Amino acid sequence: MVKASFAALTEGEVYVPGLPSDYVSEKYGIPLGDIAKLGSAENPHGASPKAMAAMAEACQRLDIYPEWTARRLREAIARKYGFEADNVVCGSGETEVISMVIRAFARPDEPVLMHNPCFPLYRIYSNCEGRRPVFTPMGKDFDPLIDQYIEALKQNPKIAFITNPHNPSGMPVSEADVRRICEAASDETLVVLDEAYIHYSESEGCMHLLKEYPKNVILLRTFSKAFGLAGLRVGFGISANPELIRPLRNIKPTWNMGQLQIAGGIAAINDDEHVNRAVKTVVEMRNYVADRMASMSAFRMVPGSKANFFLTEIRDPALDSTKVFNGLLERGVIVKDGTDIPGLGARYLRVDLNLKKHMDRFLAALDDIASR
């Protein structure tokens, strides 16, 4: 009985993050500054300067417990988007909020809907909590196939995750399709709009839809991407209905947000200059890489990404994702191997968009691999 109960925790799938630069530098003897780290969707310009300054000041408060709900951070987020603090819950990264949502809104063996492929932690957390992940397919070049997703909603899953832009493909979901999903979901289904990468889509996202669909919609965002605070671990969930947020605040670890997380988040949420700089770089590099890869025969940039990453399809039958992944590592380039993302597979790599020098290193490495 005990062994069966803990099987998902001891024998189940684990998340495979992007490799750290220092590991690749040490293993292959490549100077650390030359490594192109394109496997973790990090900000090309680093952390928000406003957040850095605020955290330096907050170091004077490290001996003091923070307010347990991160009230000041919740207030700052609420002001930014036109809500009240009770409409916001904060987590140690958006990933913690995802785990809380699954625990709070689905009972054991109840279904949790997601695309295949998807952000792996939807599936991993569902399995670890004894909930049942169910999948809807994606089409050619990862078209989200919204009609099929809506058909799956007829089975009344307890939670329905929709990622916009999608991870790992970067494909956007239009506002019209998000509306269709919200309207198709029954009151028994919590619709979770995950907008971790929304800034890079050059759109405002669907925050404004929350007040139109208050009964059963929560939106998630993170400070790890456009704000550059991946190492700080700050994310949040927000809804027009505070009754959807209350159980998440009740279920979360008591002091899950420290003084530095709170201070950094408050400063970063209004650092539009830093966000805009990152978006500008990503959009420019998205177009640059698309132009450069258009002439390649062994590899193809899957078109349509609106995130700060894209998929590379491996067309050469003599290669697969693991061979190319390892070949890139030897040349100082870190990406994500598609075989580490169930549903993606051995013909794809996920590659971040970053500074031009890093994208040039990636492109040169692909050329070198293809010529061998």
- Find the radius of gyration of the CA atoms of the chain: 21
Count: domains in the chain: 2
Q: Which is more confidently placed, 17 or 273? A: 273
Q: If you average pLDDT over residues 296-308, what whole number do you get? A: 98
Is 59:239 a contact under the CB 8 Å cutoff?
Answer: no
Range of the domain at 310: 2-46+273-371
Q: If you average pLDDT over residues 244-253, what whole number do you get? A: 97
Neighbours of 210 (CB within 10 A): 21
One domain, residues 139 and 65:
yes
Say which DSSP state 244 is in: H
pLDDT at 2 over 50: no
298 phi and psi, to 5 degrees? -80, -20
One domain, residues 68 and 210:
yes
Overall pTM > 0.85:
yes
Q: If you average pLDDT over residues 156-162, what whole number do you get? A: 98
Q: If you average pLDDT over residues 18-28, what whole number do you get? A: 95
One domain, residues 280 and 210:
no
One domain, residues 183 and 314:
no
One domain, residues 152 and 197:
yes
Whichever domain contains 42, its CATH number is 3.90.1150.10
pLDDT at 4 over 60: no
Dihedral, 341, 345, 346, 350 alpha carbons, nearest 10: -50
One domain, residues 97 and 244:
yes
- Helix segments in 165-258, DSSP class H: 175-184, 242-251
> How would you classify the pairing of strands 111-116 and 348-352?
unpaired
Neighbours of 231 (CB within 10 A): 8
One domain, residues 186 and 70:
yes
Predicted confidence at residue 14, as pLDDT, reads 86
Say which DSSP state 17 is in: P
Per-residue pLDDT tens digits for 82-122? 999 999 999 999 999 999 999 999 999 999 999 999 999 99
One domain, residues 40 and 93:
no
Whichever domain contains 194, its CATH number is 3.40.640.10
pLDDT at 6 over 90: no
Predicted confidence at residue 1, as pLDDT, reads 42
Predicted confidence at residue 13, as pLDDT, reads 83
Among the three residues 237, 271, 305, which one is the final residue of a domain in this structure? 271
One domain, residues 148 and 241:
yes
Is 73:85 a contact under the CB 8 Å cutoff?
Answer: no
Percent of the chain with pLDDT over 90: 95
> How would you classify the pairing of strands 190-194 and 217-222?
parallel
* Cα–Cα separations (whole angstroms), residue 181 to 98, 144, 198, 215: 19, 12, 18, 14
One domain, residues 26 and 94:
no
Instruction: Say which range, 5-19, 29-43, 128-142, 151-165, has the weakest mean pLDDT.
Output: 5-19
